[in-house]
Amino acid sequence: AGVKYVGCFKDNRYRDLPVVYTANYKTTKAYCFRYCRAKGYRYFGLQNGNACTCGNTVGRYGKAKSKDCARSTCKGDKRSKCGGPWRNSVFTTGLKPKSFKTPGMSHIGCFVDGRRRDLPTVGGKGSITVGRCYGLCKKKGFRFFGVQIGKQCWCGNHYGRYGRRDKRECRYQCRGDKTTYCGGSWRNDVYATGLEEHASGVTLLGCFRDNSKRDLPLVHGAGHRTTKAYCLKYCKSRGYRYFGLQAGSACTCGNKYGSFGRVNAKQCRTRCRGDKRRTCGGSWRNSVYSTGIGSKPVRLPGLKHLGCYLDKSSRDLRKLVLSGSVTVPKCYKACKARKYRFFGVQNGYQCWCGNHYGRYRIRSNLECRVQCRGDKSTYCGGAWRNNVYATGVVVASKAAGVKYVGCFKDNRYRDLPVVYTANYKTTKAYCFRYCRAKGYRYFGLQNGNACTCGNTVGRYGKAKSKDCARSTCKGDKRSKCGGPWRNSVFTTGLKPKSFKTPGMSHIGCFVDGRRRDLPTVGGKGSITVGRCYGLCKKKGFRFFGVQIGKQCWCGNHYGRYGRRDKRECRYQCRGDKTTYCGGSWRNDVYATGLEEHASGVTLLGCFRDNSKRDLPLVHGAGHRTTKAYCLKYCKSRGYRYFGLQAGSACTCGNKYGSFGRVNAKQCRTRCRGDKRRTCGGSWRNSVYSTGIGSKPVRLPGLKHLGCYLDKSSRDLRKLVLSGSVTVPKCYKACKARKYRFFGVQNGYQCWCGNHYGRYRIRSNLECRVQCRGDKSTYCGGAWRNNVYATGVVVASKAAGVKYVGCFKDNRYRDLPVVYTANYKTTKAYCFRYCRAKGYRYFGLQNGNACTCGNTVGRYGKAKSKDCARSTCKGDKRSKC
């Protein structure tokens, strides 16, 4: 009953029906039926004409064609076919497995067992069936059971510790029901009882990416125990808010998740090793669930997480206030009560407070995941790692007058000269206190890590506001502290001391030396600009300088050693730190408002000069060069005019304008003695009158003829005066002696004569030695005569002397006697010369010769203009 043909099935050496009996000549359908039924198998097969095969399952390797099972004749009955080579003709034996109710039971597979049992609890032994083992294990509350070696029943909540095997290794017949298999030797045929582990409050949050840094920091290799329920229990018992299942074999726990991003749920489909029916994440993928634990709700006003920061033995946050059962709220309250701006929780049990943080740089939040001892659902830093928070306490950075000024450019020469690299202490409040304590009017925040202080700002110009929002303050990551070479500038609220300084003006920063630039000491010690101003003005000085913060110097001239940049004069005044008082060997120079007296001075214009000098006396006054100084210098020497040239020289003279006037714009060089005024230019004189005028004297017939060279044989033969010579004195002396010409030489000699010009004329610039008797006029020069005519006329007329005309001459001579008179050549001289020799006619030729004869006109007359071309060497006013 129940014998039925199932079909033709493939077989191989691993056997579809495991029991093979080579019956040979006994091989018939009836024999194999009895053989297999007697052994309790549900199926029997005929193979290759000579073998019976028995088993409880069939078809593992698939069906074959019917003709494949009709190739071998049964050895026990040649009329019938008994399968074929590796082909089973399969029939049922009519036996059926024992029925039992197994709600929720499901077959999982064949698994290896070991001495430390995969399913640890013995359910039963002996006449075991699958149904009986199911009942025994389910009654004990186990989720899984396994039947082994046909007679053993094992129970447990996890399986798979030693790995899975092929089904063929689990084909021992159950002792209690031979129609079913009950594992094998050290092989469990594992089933689920249908019971599930309790996992209430668990919510799937998604599939998330993981890596070696770990999204959920605690990793437990659960192996064959890996199930959702096991990982929940494991992580919840440790106080974590979230758990994950990864790669089918690991539990991960943490209080935060998602650091590396979410991925598609398809990437979390690896089967759990503890329950092959379920999925447990994937390779580097966490299936993340909540454990049901939530952080305790506490109101903490002002609390803000700032990040994970490295700590060292010298401590980033200086004050340890709690140790032990620490939580974030506890630490917050303890530090806030002590007025600290920041707190950090470290290594799960320490609470540190401070007003600055970040000294040893920020780290990844992944390094701050040690559970708080007082609340395991939150993190409290790590080993030498602070989880830093703001308490919300604000340290006042406002005082009267504190105000944002703007964003300003800076460079290596510094707009605000005092730079303090505060690093992790850098905040607006800290820099405010630092600079105010030092007495500065302004403070700046630069590049996130530096405080800058000073009393003036904006030297290099304003920058865009966004340039000062590029660097985060190292002491407070929530705020911005300037940028690279950009200062966010504020006032400290300090103001300079007020003092009345009428007429005072700042001039600049100047070098000083051992021979002081400003020679008089005004005062020393607790100096301010106002006090120095009062001291020097009271003494009548035009300028004062403050030096090295504590010295006051006074003088009427400055700038001897040159000007320097303002940045070299930024020492704070001892008497008022909100202002600068020079530097080391540097004077911050001011004008007191007093002016030097320069009455009677008239500006005559800007005049060209060169190496020959328009005003002959040049005095390099250097740092003393002012209008008043040059007036005094030239006036004391008797000059009628003085000039200021190139900012550093005084020029003096009695005449000006020899090289022409130029535009006033060319005389704008600043005076070295007073930078507020202009003193000419390069080869340009700003010319003024000194107020000295030449004495008015009537000298009839006087005429200046020029500057002439003199030599030891003398151009004008008669020396009549020597010493305190003036032009009028010499004029009178020579005229009284009936001389036609006189010359003043070298400032103190007076020479007379009737002829001049023997050694040729020179430039008037060579005849500019002052007269000893009147310094407002020139009296020649060294071997130079300033020649004048006295107005005396030497008679050249006698009876019959008459102009005949202009006549041609040549080498054969019209008038045969020729005398080269040179510098004596005048009409009067040639008249006397020829008359003395008894000639009827005399002539003047080429400006330097007298000609005599008794006849004239041999070569004919010439034009009158031909005889007006040469000036008489003996009288430059006449033609010869």
State the pLDDT at residue 799: 56
* DSSP state at residue 469: B
Q: In 3D, which of 271, 462, 322, 476 has the Cα closest to residue 392?
A: 476
765-812 pLDDT, tens digit per residue, is 999 999 999 888 999 999 999 999 998 876 555 457 889 999 999 999
How far out from the chain centre does Cα 404 lie?
22
State the pLDDT at residue 856: 93
Spans in the chain with pLDDT lower than 50: 399, 798
643-696 pLDDT, tens digit per residue, is 999 999 999 999 999 999 999 999 999 988 888 889 999 999 999 998 887 666
Cβ contact 572:439 at 8 Å? yes
State the pLDDT at residue 798: 47
Classify 554 as helix, strand or coil: strand
Q: How far apart are CA 74 and CA 76, in angstroms?
A: 5
Classify 819 as helix, strand or coil: strand
Which residues are within 8 A (CB) of 371 and not within 5 positions of it... i.e. 6 or more apart? 238, 239, 240, 255, 348, 377, 378, 379, 380
Task: Provide DSSP, 108-126.
Answer: EEEEE--SS-SS-EEEEES
| Residue 347 in tokens | 């290594």
Query: What's the half-sphere exposure (Cβ side, CA atoms, 13 Å) at 318?
Result: 8
How far out from the chain centre does Cα 446 lie?
10
Which residues are within 8 A (CB) of 636 and not within 5 positions of it... i.e. 6 or more apart? none
Cβ contact 822:756 at 8 Å? no
State the pLDDT at residue 461: 94
Q: How far apart are CA 499 and CA 510, in angstroms?
A: 24
* DSSP state at residue 788: E
| Residue 562 in tokens | 């040159």
Q: Which residue is associated with the tokens 């029906």?
A: 17
How far out from the chain centre does Cα 103 lie?
76
367-382 pLDDT, tens digit per residue, is 999 999 998 889 999 9
How far out from the chain centre does Cα 559 lie?
36
Q: What are the sequence ranges of the domains in the chain?
A: 5-92, 106-192, 204-290, 304-390, 404-491, 505-591, 602-689, 703-789, 817-879
State the pLDDT at residue 359: 82
Q: Which residue is associated with the tokens 């709220």?
A: 329
State the pLDDT at residue 309: 93
815-850 pLDDT, tens digit per residue, is 999 999 888 888 888 998 999 998 999 999 999 999
Q: Which residue is associated with the tokens 């700032």?
A: 306
- The phi-psi region of residue 149 (left if phi > 0; otherwise alpha if psi is between -120 and 50; otherwise beta) is left
State the pLDDT at residue 119: 92
Mean pLDDT of the chain: 90
State the pLDDT at residue 399: 47
Q: Which residue is associated with the tokens 């029901």?
A: 177
